[in-house]
């Protein structure tokens, strides 16, 4: 039985969660210092950074240290966790309140079963893809799930605008990962999902992009289903599709790019080399889309050229794509590493490599988005 049908439902937070204070300035263009690059101006991150104030405002409920804590003391505990930056301290501060919430859910489930004749069975988990950041790219099904959630576990790459759609009566808990800092291990995330679903909560797991494209959604789905929990996967627009559409870059194009390949830029044990073998990806007729590839790009680009990809293959690196803070660098493959370094792009950055960007559709839209004095082949518009 869904938690929404059993009184008492979660009590709302003492005050509505304020919208993110991050600035959302419109995309602004400036000329690039290189004829082979486009740089668009950026503003504050639209996503939840590890120690962002918006994160601790949303999660302040989970830092209450004792029964009867006021919202101000909860906020103070959250601020202390933010300033400490220590993962162990943070989890320890949250555990008492998480346990109390579980107990309240279990008690509510028991009363519902006895007083209303309900089954009191476990809740469900929805793995929801939120797309690359633009809230207008959400599916209607995703919006309905977000609005109906009792507990939301969200990743770093779920944009602040998407999180603003969560109902006031729901609880939000950050479980994001970034290089060098995992707020929760994957195993801890599994246990949180299981514990709250077993207690009868309607749990929503928000993931950037699509849950089943480099999102570890398959692992979470398999774990929960093995424990008898009903899991629904709600797809999201993966970054490759959303960002390519935003820039007008065809991922496939008749006679130019006959296939597209999604690659992970992650390395083994934090090393400099990407996980896959570069020679298998060096196909001039395939568009390559590299997720999470900033740190391994210096190794990937020369390997692709060594194994046959032409050095003048068009490429683009897009930081925070589809959001007002989007920045991008257009360059030939041989120049991409230097251009990305010179502009200091940060995660999340998607990399697209392929001849599809040589088509008029892709290059003309790129010019409209930013000042682009010369295209990457050295020709100007007529």
Each residue of 11-28: pLDDT tens digit?
A: 333 333 333 333 333 223
Helix runs in the chain, H state only: 53-58, 71-84, 87-115, 140-148, 160-163, 186-198, 217-226, 239-247, 297-306, 333-343, 360-369
CB 238 within 8 A of CB 209: yes
Between CA 357 and CA 337 the distance in angstroms is: 18
SS3 content of the chain, % helix, strand, coil (to 5): 40, 15, 45
Torsion sign (Cα): 362, 337, 348, 54 = negative
Q: Does residue 373 surpass a pLDDT of 70?
A: no
Between CA 359 and CA 39 the distance in angstroms is: 20
Higher pLDDT, 23 or 210: 210
Architecture, CATH, for domain 240-370: 2-Layer Sandwich (3.30)
Q: Does residue 211 surpass a pLDDT of 90?
A: yes
> Average pLDDT of 81-90?
61
Cis peptide before 348 (omega within 30 of 0): yes
Q: Which residues are catalytic?
A: 155, 177, 292
122-237 and 240-370: same fold?
Answer: no
Architecture, CATH, for domain 122-237: 3-Layer(aba) Sandwich (3.40)
Q: What pLDDT does residue 23 have? A: 31
Q: Does residue 49 surpass a pLDDT of 90?
A: no
Q: Does residue 48 surpass a pLDDT of 80?
A: yes
pLDDT tens figures, 306-342: 999 999 999 999 999 999 999 999 999 999 999 999 9
Residue spans of the domains in the chain: they are: 122-237, 240-370
- Highest average pLDDT, of 58-67, 110-119, 288-297, comes from 288-297
Long-range CB contacts (< 8 A, 24+ apart) of 141-146? 141/234, 142/234, 142/236, 145/204, 145/232, 145/234, 146/204, 146/206
Q: Collapsing DSSP states into helix, strand and coil, what is residue 288?
A: strand
The number of CA neighbours under 13 Å toward the Cβ of 339 is 26
CB 203 within 8 A of CB 197: yes
**Mean pLDDT (the chain, rounded):** 78
Cis peptide before 310 (omega within 30 of 0): no
pLDDT tens figures, 103-143: 888 888 764 444 444 445 688 999 999 999 999 999 999 99
């Amino acid at each position: 039985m869904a938690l929404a049908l059993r009184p008492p439902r979660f009590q709302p937070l003492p005050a509505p969660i304020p919208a993110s204070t991050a600035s959302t300035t419109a995309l602004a263009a400036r000329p690039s210092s290189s004829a082979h690059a486009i740089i668009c101006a950026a503003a504050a991150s639209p996503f939840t950074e590890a120690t962002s104030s918006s994160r601790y405002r949303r999660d302040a409920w989970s830092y209450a240290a004792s029964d009867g804590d006021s919202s101000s003391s909860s906020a103070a505990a959250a601020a202390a966790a933010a300033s400490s930056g220590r993962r162990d301290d943070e989890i320890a501060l949250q555990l008492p309140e998480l346990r109390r919430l579980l107990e309240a859910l279990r008690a509510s489930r028991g009363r519902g079963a006895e007083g209303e004749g309900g089954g009191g069975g476990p809740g469900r988990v929805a793995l929801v893809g939120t797309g690359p950041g633009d809230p207008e790219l959400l599916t209607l099904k995703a919006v309905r799930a977000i609005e109906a959630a009792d507990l939301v576990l969200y990743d770093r790459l779920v944009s602040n605008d998407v999180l603003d759609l969560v109902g006031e009566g729901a609880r939000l808990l950050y479980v994001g990962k970034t290089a060098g800092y995992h707020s929760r291990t994957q195993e801890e995330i599994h246990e949180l999902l299981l514990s709250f679903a077993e207690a009868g909560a309607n749990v929503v797991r928000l993931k950037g992009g699509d849950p089943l494209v480099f999102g570890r959604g398959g692992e979470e789905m398999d774990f929960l289903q093995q424990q008898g929990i009903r899991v629904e996967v709600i797809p999201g627009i993966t970054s490759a599709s959303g960002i390519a559409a935003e820039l007008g870059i065809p991922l496939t194009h008749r006679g130019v790019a006959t296939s597209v390949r999604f690659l992970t830029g992650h390395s083994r044990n934090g090393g400099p080399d990407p996980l896959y073998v570069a020679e298998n990806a060096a196909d001039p007729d395939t568009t390559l889309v590299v997720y999470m590839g900033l740190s391994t790009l210096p190794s990937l680009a020369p390997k692709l050229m060594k194994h046959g990809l032409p050095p003048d293959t068009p490429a683009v690196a897009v930081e925070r794509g589809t959001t007002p803070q989007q920045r991008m660098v257009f360059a030939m493959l041989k120049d991409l590493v230097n251009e990305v370094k010179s502009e200091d792009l940060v995660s999340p950055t998607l990399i697209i490599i392929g001849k599809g960007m040589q088509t008029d559709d892709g290059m003309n839209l790129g010019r409209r988005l930013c000042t682009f004095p010369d295209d990457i082949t050295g020709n100007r518009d007529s």
